[in-house]
Amino acid sequence: MKSDQIKKGVDRAANRSLLYALGLTEEEQKRPIIGVVSSYNEIVPGHMNLDKIADAVKAGVRAAGGTPILVPAIAVCDGIAMGHVGMKYSLVTRDLIADSTEALAIAHQFDGLVMIPNCDKNVPGLLMAAARINVPTIFCSGGPMLAGRLPDGRRTCLSHMFEAVGAYHAGTMDEEDVQTYVEKACPSCGSCSGMYTANSMNCLTEAIGMALPGNGTIPAPLSARIRLAKATGMQIMKLVEEDIKPSDIMTEAAFHNAETVDMALGCSTNTMLHLPAIAHEAHVDISFDMANEISSKTPNLCHLAPAGDTFMEDLEDAGGVYAVMKELTKGDLLDLSVMTVTTKTMGENIEHAENLNPEIIRPFEDPFMKTGGIAVLKGNLAPDGCVVKQAAVKESMMQHEGPARVFDSEDDAIEAILGGKIVAGDVVVIRYEGPKGGPGMREMLNPTSAIAGMGLDESVALITDGRFSGATRGASIGHVSPEAASGGNIGLVEEGDIIAIDIINKTIELKVSDEELAARRAAWVCPEPKIKTGYLARYAKLVSSADKGAILE
């Protein structure tokens, strides 16, 4: 066993004495030692139940003959961090999580790992760590939040909550209306109830083969989630016994499966940052360009919030991720031979899956869209690409041309939007918010929600070198690469320049001549860094561009 490095023989007597100090019996020390990496804390609603999940996982490990050891991982609540300097610290935690988990696992020589994440950066951070450490590993998330319900019976969620603020500034809601959303939008523990980033990544963890069925969709408050956690704890012992590692599961074919399911589900655009970063750690190369290739042949089968009015609990009731994958087999779009943490192939896993609600999971032959939920656009404004969640864009905005309204920070843009200075036809440009320029690549849920809440989502586009929450809808185009702080053309846009967006044909063009752009570039001076000390300053020096997954180089 790997843990023999800390417990076997006279030469490890000192190490072993510290295991005794932990209260571990001789019998417990003889068993495989399983690191249970829990992201439990009391500030993230998606993580407030993870102590119960961890207890259930540990019970499963013990039942199957292992010794579970609880260790921590951090997490940030993007919703609470939204709209202020705290959001700069969201994406950057992905690498802190990966680094610290690597350190804990290798320092203590665990024989296997159970990762217990739930929210946005926590899931990819732990998947990155799993790929690096490469001991038998399995995931069990905390599960999605239940949808909220307003007094009139309508269901609601966090994206509606943010849009309510925009509606208040537009004069279509009063403060009492907003307070109703405050009290009703987020009714339980769990990751927010739509197909936002956390739920997207937890579903893709199933699709890539690193979690048991239901990981992405069983609601957090249900007892089925506790049963899943116990089953996960027992399953890690089988993985340790058979020595099935992440490198056996997270193969190139598995990543292609995940990207295909991503397109079918209509996942968050943040998956375009996280999947390449996880693949990088697994020594697999997946590029921005692959997204359009996969999207072109993958139908969009689900329209969960923010694209539609259905929620994660509905997807669970309809058959979950496996039912979506079963639909995709009709087009021969998946590699069903890949190994998974069930110790069976993906084909064996989904053999008996069934689509129980064709309104929630559209049949392969009758999709919401014939192409996938995400598109990568390229053009002189984004030579290396940018990303849009096309499944959440109104048909009227799939092609749009208008004057640029230019802002060098999210804060300035929000002030203009809420102040009524943005009008129909505009293209809001927010720059110097990329991985380096932010630093930290803030999510832009506040400005996109303000645009939607003020009734401008069918007439105003937003472009940024930052990124978006999975709760964002509308013609919101992020991850513009190269970013402004790296000399990208988005830094050369001037007020009133015409920008043409064509999501259908995957292009984005700044209608300014090459000669004029060259003149502007000659005069361009990169602004001073917004933050010059601490972790963010170090991060800015190491981080790559968004099209490469914002990995640290």
Q: Which residues are catalytic?
A: 469
Report which of 473, 54, 524 is spatially closest to residue 304, judged by C-alpha positions.
Answer: 473
Q: Are 412 and 301 in contact (CB under 8 A)?
A: no
38: left (phi over 0), alpha (psi -120 to 50) or beta: beta
Q: What is the residue-wise DSSP string for 410-442?
A: HHHHHHHHHTT---TT-EEEE-S-STTTTTS--
DSSP E strand boundaries for 281-426? 375-379, 382-388, 399-407
Q: What Å distances lie between residue 96 and 23, 84, 110, 292, 363, CA to CA?
A: 30, 20, 20, 30, 40
Identity of the residue numbered 534: G
Q: Do β-strands 112-116 and 137-139 pair in parallel, antiparallel, or remain unpaired?
A: parallel
d(CA 152, CA 134): 50
d(CA 512, CA 91): 33
- Measured in degrees and rounded to the nearest 5, phi and psi for residue 498 equal -90, 130
Geometric angle at alpha carbon 136, from 347 and 139, rounded to 5°: 70
Q: Are 131 and 154 in contact (CB under 8 A)?
A: no
Q: What is the DSSP letter of 547?
A: G
Report which of 458, 456, 434 is spatially closest to residue 530, judged by C-alpha positions.
Answer: 434
Tokens of 98: 């990966």
Q: What is the residue-wise DSSP string for 44-95?
A: -TTTTTHHHHHHHHHHHHHHTT-EEEEEE-----HHHHTTSGGGGGTTTHHH
d(CA 259, CA 551): 18
Identity of the residue numbered 464: T
| Cis before 221 (ω within 30) | no
Tokens of 228: 């899943």
Report which of 367, 404, 553, 372 is spatially closest to residue 480, judged by C-alpha positions.
Answer: 404
d(CA 453, CA 547): 30
Consecutive H or E run containing 112 = strand 112-116
Q: What Å distances lie between residue 416 and 55, 442, 478, 497, CA to CA?
A: 48, 18, 19, 18
Q: Are 237 and 65 in contact (CB under 8 A)?
A: yes
